[in-house]
Amino acid sequence: MALVAGLTGENCAGKGTVADYLQKKGFYYLSLSDVIREELAAEGRDITRENLIAKGNELREKFGHGVLGAKTAAKLQSDKNYVIDSIRHPEEAKALGAGRSFVLVCVTAPPEKRFERMKARGRESDPKTLQAFLEIEKLEAKNKDKYKQQLGETMNTAGKKVVNDGDLKQLFNDVDKLLAEVSEEFKAARPSWDAYFMNIAKEVSKRSNCMKRHVAALIVKDKRIVSTGYNGTPRGTKNCDEGGCPRCNSFAESGTKLDECLCSHAEENAIVQAAYHGISIKDSTIYSTFAPCLTCSKMIINAGILEVVYNVDYPLNETVFGLLKQAGVHVRQFKVE
């Protein structure tokens, strides 16, 4: 079922920012204030904050407390997600939520932050002091006449709250978390095991000290990482990127002078590390950011590894793949960016 997210909250709390973010996620935007604007425009009256409040109160008194919500709800299509702004009365939220998947979200922030945001927008009609700002808010939050906007009560009835007192990244993270809580559609997909292990391998590759290429490999058994390796010079010797391998530092053409290279490959190091720590890797899977070379493939076969998963292909690898296939080792590519 499509989701309708209603927004309520104080002035300058960030409701518009949240609405803009949700629109980027495919939500269609509507505002209860648009209903009032249409009425004011039909009467030829100016669209001011004071006129919007007065006309909204007039419509609620004449047609019922939830009239703005009901008029907006009539515009909703069942196959679309919506974000609806400017909900200032609990009955408006009830009208919007009737018969649909609806969540009322309170967007709030400390008054000092909101006052600073209001000053930054520089509207002539805005209050000039924090005290004046708070006095206006107090009048809008609660009215003895129930047909008038009841912002405080509306905020208290919200099913979810977002506190916008940090940066935009934090705000958007909070909104994403909220969406995942209220709708299966917006739950972040868990990465597959292949994506999980290959992305870890990419991270491990950042430890490589090779001047030519950064490669990493993981050995996985029963969905557990039992060994890792990255390419570089042997333990206890000068790192390649510090001049440890003359072949790599001379930038020899790819595929040439391999007999002069002092660097061990990632797959080789992963296998050797397992042996060093006495860990059996028989019947395991090796994930590598680069397809294995012939030497590493022979080690993979003899170590009893059953599967090779690689990210980037290695040129002229027919001999390698043929040998692995002949030995009964399954080989497949899984690409991640």
Do 287 and 262 form a contact (C-beta atoms < 8 A)?
no
Alpha carbons 103 and 126: distance in angstroms, whole number: 30
Do 298 and 243 form a contact (C-beta atoms < 8 A)?
no
Torsion of CA 239, 240, 242, 244, to 10 degrees: 80
Distance of CA 186 to the CA centre of its chain: 10
Alpha carbons 1 and 3: distance in angstroms, whole number: 6
Alpha carbons 229 and 292: distance in angstroms, whole number: 13
Annotated active-site residue in 267, 268, 307, 318: 267
Long-range Cβ pairs for the range 90-94 (8 Å, 24+):
90/65, 90/150, 90/153, 90/154, 90/157, 91/60, 91/64, 91/65, 91/66, 92/32, 92/65, 92/66, 92/68, 92/154, 93/6, 93/8, 93/69, 93/154, 93/157, 94/66, 94/69
Cβ neighbours around 51 below 10 Å, total: 16
Q: Is 267 designated active site? A: yes
Long-range Cβ pairs for the range 233-237 (8 Å, 24+):
233/209, 233/262, 233/263, 233/264, 234/262, 234/264, 237/262
Residues 6+ apart with CB under 8 A from 144: none
Of 183, 160, 219, 195, the residue nearest 7 (C-alpha): 160
Write out the two tokens for 282: 């028989």
Alpha carbons 110 and 130: distance in angstroms, whole number: 12
**Which positions are catalytic?**
267
